[in-house]
Structure 1
Amino acid sequence: MKRDYKLFVKDILDAIDKIEQFIKDINYQEFIQDDKTSTAVVKKIEIIGEAIKNIPGDVKAKYSNIPWRDIVGMRNKISHGYFGIDYEIVWAVIKEKLPELKPMFHQILGGIKNRKREKKGEKRNE
């Protein structure tokens, strides 16, 4: 049975929440010096990119303001460039881009819930 894409959206939001927790109250220097934190953040970015691969094309088209390819591209660079991770880029992404993306993924999740409510309403009216 194929996993519902809303679960992948939840995975993305969970990963963003974890990243926010991991980097709370630390600066860039502390981030790069703390191997556990930097490794955990990179893993969560991989999870975000992997989850995005499972979101249907029509959803991606509807939310075209999300840089889908860029996110997956970053995941691919991290996953396949084991010794070449640029932590300055990772830091910039988690500090600047993730806060912008989080409400967009909440919007997708909200849209899913609204569509389900509408469908339930249609069935009741039949």
Structure 2
Amino acid sequence: MKGSIGDPQRIAHILEAIEEIEGYIKGVNYATFLDKSIIRFATIKQLEIIGEAANHISKELQLSTPDISWREIISLRNFLVHEYFGVDEIIIWQIITVDIPHLKEKLNNITF
């Protein structure tokens, strides 16, 4: 049931999506990322999952983790879903190669 999923499970979902992204881009450079639409689309789907899970993180946890840009994560999800035609691949590449590793580290430091 949707209501029974708590913050620990949502964080686990985000970390699973991050691991999926890491698997998709392992050994992949930007040129290959651009060339392989299946990698791009799979990565974008995982970013949507991350944003959806982040949207259901409790306000208490969001407030206790100000170093995580929850609002930006959620906004990215909304953009990817609703403005799919305006996705800039270089920004996605930056997110998955720079921002996502930092997010993973921060999430792994959360204790419940």
TM-score bucket of the superposed structures, by smaller chain: over 0.9
1:80 corresponds in structure 2 to: 82
Q: Per-residue deviation at 1:73?
A: 1.0
Detail structure 1 runs of 4+ shifted over 3 Å in the superposition. Answer: none
Q: Distance in 1 between matches of 2:105 and 2:89?
A: 24
- Secondary structure at 1:83 match in 2: helix
- Listed one character per residue, the Cα deviations across residues 10-54 of structure 1 (whole Å, up to 9, x for unaligned) are 000000011011000011110011011100000000000000011
2:27 corresponds in structure 1 to: 25
TM-score, structure 1 normalization: 0.84
- Secondary structure at 2:85 match in 1: coil
2:70 corresponds in structure 1 to: 68
Paired amino acid for 1:66: I
1:116 corresponds in structure 2 to: none
Paired amino acid for 2:10: F
Q: Distance in 1 between matches of 2:60 and 2:73?
A: 17
Match of 2:11 among 9, 12, 35: 9
Match of 1:45 among 47, 62, 68: 47
Q: Distance in 1 between matches of 2:26 and 2:102?
A: 17
Q: Distance in 2 between matches of 1:36 and 1:52?
A: 24
TM-score, structure 2 normalization: 0.94
Structure 1 residues not aligned, in runs of 5+: 113-126
2:102 corresponds in structure 1 to: 100
- Secondary structure at 2:81 match in 1: helix
* Number of equivalenced pairs: 110
